[in-house]
Amino acid sequence: MVKILAVNAGSSTLKWKLFDMPAEDELAEGLVDRLGQPKANIKVKYGDHQVFKDDHPVANFDEAVASVMDALKSLNLVADLHEIVGIGHRVVAGGEAFTESTVVDDAALKQIEALRDYAPLHNPVEAQYIEVFKKMVPWATEVAVFDTAFHQTMAPENYLYSIPYKYYKEYGARKYGAHGTSVRYVSARTAEFLGRDPKDLKLVVLHLGSGSSITAVKDGKSVDTSMGFTPLAGITMSTRSGDIDVSLVAYLMKKLNVDMDEMLEILNHESGVLGISELSQDQRDLKAVADTNPQAKLALEIYANRAAKYVAGYASVMGGIDALAFTGGVGENSHEMRQQIIERLGFLGAKIDPEVNAASHGIEKDLSTPDATIKTILMPTNEELMIVRDVFERLPQ
């Protein structure tokens, strides 16, 4: 039995989970939030619903990692840090350089840093955290698990944009997608849940959360996905616009007298259901007032509309659909949104039991009615488990 850490790092947050492998037992999960502020929020859940909290200052990435190591020891989650033999890092952009999870050596780390233009808010931070962990836990195998890797099986007809081909050859301008680690877990687990061979299943995974994506998975491989060169593309999201006419972007930049950075800020952080509703990015807030607030109702309808359009389009891409899998914060917990989307897909044969759907939250569940020709499954994601599995497979023998 060995202990492996799964790490999901951001510029102001550090999330982690500790697993005992190969038993796949989750021993603890933690969060370091508000880095660089007067008081950081440090939280660890472990044992039998035990919770540890602290709020001392955490100035930088080194101190954030040190606080994790201190918590692991002080809470007796490890007797010695050498028990941690592997660390898996979620990395957003792997470009075409990484088609699978990779042990991070100096060359791989340089490649991750070189892909910073593909995910400027993520890759540089993730690369820095990898360096910190390598310094503090030098004996552990460090593995980068890429959000984009699962989508590298897409065909050119699905990942290329209709722009001069030389831009792809020279600059890597193409669709890369995101949420690949989640989709990889959900697609495999859904096939297992249905008792189907993944190589004989046409599945659409709806990863619906703050960031939302929809992916067509055929024969266990990603064939198309809604997010594009960046996670801004695709369906309407909490604060992201999703697909938009670039000529409209140019038009608005002139009208608003803003540069591209400011426009991207609007499209990433002020749009989506927040922008439509002018009220909240949280669908729970919108549902609470939808009966009396037309914009809140409209925002939810647009979200469901865009999701259903992508699902229907993927029926064409795959030559049919056998099953739908809902996952992510919204997908797992909003029975109302699941219902709104499925109501638009009845013509494909998707039907769910309203009572079963309303009673199902965050658990594996078949929501389909007996006469449905497309199965609809509620399937909680577990990206961290996928990460530690990848690390375990790559440990020195």
- Is residue 116 domain-shared with residue 209, that is, in the same domain? no
Determine contact, residues 95/115, Cβ cutoff 8 Å: yes
> Does the residue 166 lie in any domain?
no
- Token couple for 331: 């997908």
- Is residue 142 domain-shared with residue 202, that is, in the same domain? no
> Does the residue 181 lie in any domain?
no
- Please tell me which residue in 70, 80, 105, 147 is annotated as part of the active site: 147
- Is residue 130 domain-shared with residue 200, that is, in the same domain? no
> Does the residue 131 lie in any domain?
yes
Taking alpha carbons only, the member of 109, 164, 112, 166 closest to residue 135 is: 109
Is residue 70 helix, strand or coil?
helix
Is residue 125 helix, strand or coil?
helix
Domain boundary pick from 111, 127, 146: 146
- Side chain identity at residue 288, one-letter code: A
Q: What is the reported pTM?
A: 0.93
Distances (CA, A) of 341 to 6, 150, 186, 310, 324: 33, 25, 19, 11, 11
Domain boundary pick from 88, 115, 146: 146
Based on DSSP, count helices (H) and strands (E) in the chain, helices before strands.
15, 14
**Dist. CA 216–CA 320, nearest whole Å:** 10
The pLDDT value given to residue 89: 97
**Dist. CA 86–CA 81, nearest whole Å:** 11
Mind listing the pLDDT tens digit of every residue in the chain (397 residues)?
899 999 999 878 899 999 999 999 999 999 999 888 888 889 999 999 999 999 888 989 999 999 999 999 999 999 999 999 999 999 999 999 999 999 999 999 999 999 988 888 789 999 999 999 999 999 999 999 999 999 999 999 999 999 999 999 999 999 999 999 999 999 999 999 999 999 999 999 999 999 999 999 999 999 999 999 999 999 999 999 999 999 999 999 999 999 999 999 999 999 999 999 999 999 999 999 999 999 999 999 999 999 999 999 999 999 999 999 999 999 999 999 999 999 999 999 999 999 999 999 999 999 999 999 999 999 999 999 999 999 999 999 8
In terms of Cβ atoms closer than 10 Å to its own Cβ (0-12, 13-18, 19+), residue 237 is: buried
Determine contact, residues 279/273, Cβ cutoff 8 Å: no
> Does the residue 331 lie in any domain?
yes
The pLDDT value given to residue 368: 98
In terms of Cβ atoms closer than 10 Å to its own Cβ (0-12, 13-18, 19+), residue 2 is: middle
Q: Which domain holds residue 86?
A: 2-146
**Dist. CA 306–CA 346, nearest whole Å:** 15
> Does the residue 218 lie in any domain?
yes
Reduced DSSP (H G I as helix, E B as strand, rest coil) percent helix, strand, coil of the chain, to 5:
45, 20, 35
**Dist. CA 298–CA 164, nearest whole Å:** 37
Distances (CA, A) of 61 to 11, 15, 135, 142: 9, 12, 12, 17
- Is residue 135 domain-shared with residue 215, that is, in the same domain? no
How many residues appear in the chain?
397
- Number of structural domains (the chain) is 2
> Does the residue 180 lie in any domain?
no
- Is residue 317 domain-shared with residue 376, that is, in the same domain? yes
Is residue 244 helix, strand or coil?
coil
Whether 147 is a known active-site residue: answer yes
The pLDDT value given to residue 328: 95
Distances (CA, A) of 328 to 84, 212, 279, 332, 362: 28, 8, 22, 6, 9
**Dist. CA 379–CA 365, nearest whole Å:** 7
> Does the residue 245 lie in any domain?
yes
Q: What count of other Cβ atoms lies within 10 Å of the Cβ of residue 382?
A: 20
**Phi, psi (5° rounding) for residue 215?**
-130, 135
CATH number, residue 243: 3.30.420.40
- Is residue 330 domain-shared with residue 201, that is, in the same domain? yes
Domain boundary pick from 87, 120, 146: 146
> Does the residue 185 lie in any domain?
no
